[in-house]
Chains A and B, each alone.
Chain A
């Protein structure tokens, strides 16, 4: 488990991070969400030790992270970069060897990864000759080539086509399934919502919300329900303890003062005709994000 505890960072008079704390559990896909300039990249750089924090600590299983531990991280910086004049496979082998892999293991991992990322045809090409999307895949391969124990990925999906997004998703899920803590930032909230076990929302250098996706959705949900029924739903307005928010024919969205009131609506609806769906409306990540950030 990776624990970020009480991190502060300022650039001169500008406070970039204020008391940032959250955890990334083993095997948990943790989405790191925030607007541009909110402090995501700075936080990730501090976790990786590229930047020093003014105060606070990064703990691994309860003990401060050492430079040796950081070698076992797979890191994809926001600023992409590989040697343009090096061949793709050669470059990955080099990076793997810098992490301490034997030449044979480095080669093996490189070949496996390139195949999984459908880059094996380009193994012998110079990085600068690849298309942008393929360069992005090579970048992801660079973060994974040394079998990292932890993944910290800054915007891993930006610049990827939908097929590549799925490929990368699969690879990341495999790593999480193998027990790796995975922290990644993204602007694509729908993707984060679909993918993440845990969420961390940052705004103006402060953590505004964090926890498991389900917990957050519960936390930010209002007692709001949605019903689809066969008959006109106008009658719901008359039920005690119910405020209708939106209503169109058989469909309605309403808020209930109590659970009992919402159940009354369901029973009444069933007695009036077929009910196609009835459910507690839980906020989407986008809704939570907007609410939290404001």
Chain B
């Protein structure tokens, strides 16, 4: 526009606006700040976040108690004479010296010890005296097992793997679903209340979409980081440092994958939500995206011990945020694998954003019935 300020004939000169339009990213930031502020003001959001954090802390504490039970409690056994040499060599047993077999039996009877180990003439040189049933833990501790050589040792035990896989799957599923549906509702709210037409004339549609995605991603990511920190600190405090050292890198990668994966999911939620005009229709229109979010959760529960399925999952963009961290925890991923998978995820995310913003832009002003994919993509 011209900068000339010549006065006009019969009408007053137009007063020029002194402010300039904000930059694209300034607009994005304004939109995302509003998203964050309205989220922080929502009681439902604060309560659900609180519950999620409590679950995380609770599971760490429960894990701490469980592991404490198995590692620190040793079984006390009474030993007589030369038997003390046998007991001393086995872990998990604490020897309580007794003067003779009768004294050892007395200790067993009054419950001071679980069993007594006394010398005899058998092949092993000792026999065990117990009260009413053979003491399995003592027998195990005293048994001799042949040496085992594993050709391809698993880094982690089966049940722990299941728990960790479940944890990653659950956290991804819950966060993506919570914040994804929040974004969907926020898109439809603007459409339903028609405020979107004012917004569209004020800032570029891309900035509006980006602001929503960024705002909700920050919230989702913040929640994930809070959970990761709580779990990490909790493990350190409850003395599960060994597990923390194994789990740390997996959690770190999970956060990185989640950041990209959530942006992708958020763009899809926003795009599909923009195709309807009423909150009642949000569930139907976003259902395909919801399935995409649920899929890795279900797969990881069923197939966490199936290397082939996990390998595929760790590269498919929608399940990589769950699949790759689990494989890193298992130690089955080469160093370059998370990087390659992340590149695939980032490229897919970029493509999805383009696809999503096209649907979003073309659907925003179509009120009433559901916009078809054909209409939304053709414009």
Which chain A residues have a beta carbon within 8 Å of chain B's beta carbons?
25-28, 45, 48-51, 60-61, 63, 67-73, 75, 77, 79-86, 94-95, 97-102, 105, 142-143, 146-149, 177-181
Contact = CB atoms under 8 A, between A and B. Distances in A.
Contact of A72 (B17, B193, B197, B199): B17
B21 A148 contact: no
A26 B1 CA distance: 14
B196 A81 contact: yes
A148 to B, nearest CB: 7
Contacts of A148: 17
A98 B199 contact: yes
Interface in B148-201: 189-190, 193-201
A98 B22 contact: yes
26 contacts: A25-B11, A26-B8, A26-B11, A28-B11, A48-B201, A61-B1, A61-B2, A69-B1, A75-B201, A77-B194, A77-B198, A79-B197, A81-B190, A82-B198, A99-B19, A99-B22, A100-B21, A100-B22, A105-B19, A142-B198, A146-B19, A147-B15, A177-B12, A179-B14, A179-B15, A181-B14
Interface in B1-31: 1-2, 8, 11-22, 27, 30-31
Contact of A95 (B8, B12, B202): B202
A101 B194 contact: no
A99 B202 contact: yes
Interface string B17-55: 111111000010011001000100000000000000000
B61 interface: no
B204 A67 contact: yes
Interface residues of B, number: 36
A43 to B, nearest CB: 14
A50 B21 contact: no
Nearest to A154: B197
A98 B30 contact: yes
A100 B14 contact: no
B203 interface: yes
A26 B19 contact: no
A241 to B, nearest CB: 37
Contacts of B21: 68, 71, 99-100
Contact of A98 (B15, B27, B196): B27
B86 interface: no
Given A50-B365, A69-B1, A72-B17, A81 B12 contact: no
Contact of B12 (A26, A72, A80): A26
Given A83-B195, A98-B203, A149-B14, 7 more contacts: A61-B2, A73-B201, A77-B197, A82-B195, A95-B202, A99-B21, A100-B21
B375 to A, nearest CB: 11
A94 B198 contact: no
Contacts of A179: 8, 11-15
B193 A81 contact: yes
A49 B201 contact: yes
Nearest to A105: B19
From B14, B18, B38, name the one whose CB has the most chain A CB atoms within 10 angstroms: B14
Contacts of B15: 147, 149, 178-180
A71 B202 contact: yes
B201 A50 contact: yes
Interface of B: 1-2, 8, 11-22, 27, 30-31, 34, 38, 189-190, 193-204, 365, 367
Contacts of B2: 61, 63
B30 A27 contact: no
A100 B19 contact: yes
A139 B196 CA distance: 13
Contacts of B17: 72, 146-149
A71 B27 CA distance: 12
Contacts of A146: 17, 19
A180 B38 CA distance: 35
B30 A94 contact: yes
Nearest to A146: B19
Contacts of B196: 81
B202 A98 contact: yes
Contacts of A101: 19
B298 to A, nearest CB: 35
Nearest to B365: A50
B282 to A, nearest CB: 16
Nearest to A67: B204
Contacts of A94: 30, 34
Contacts of A149: 14-17
A73 B34 CA distance: 23
Nearest to B14: A179
Contacts of B201: 48-50, 70, 73, 75
Nearest to A63: B1
Given A26-B11, A179-B15, A81 B197 contact: yes
A50 B11 contact: no
From B2, B189, B195, B199, name the one whose CB has the most chain A CB atoms within 10 angstroms: B195
Contacts of A102: 19
A45 B367 CA distance: 14
A50 B190 CA distance: 15
Contacts of A61: 1-2
A27 B19 contact: no
Which 9 pairs show the lowest CB-CB distances between chains A and B? A81-B194, A27-B11, A79-B194, A179-B14, A81-B195, A179-B12, A71-B21, A77-B197, A81-B193
A97 B30 contact: yes
Contacts of B27: 98
Contacts of A82: 193, 195, 198
Contacts of B1: 60-61, 63, 69
A144 B95 CA distance: 87
A67 B27 CA distance: 14
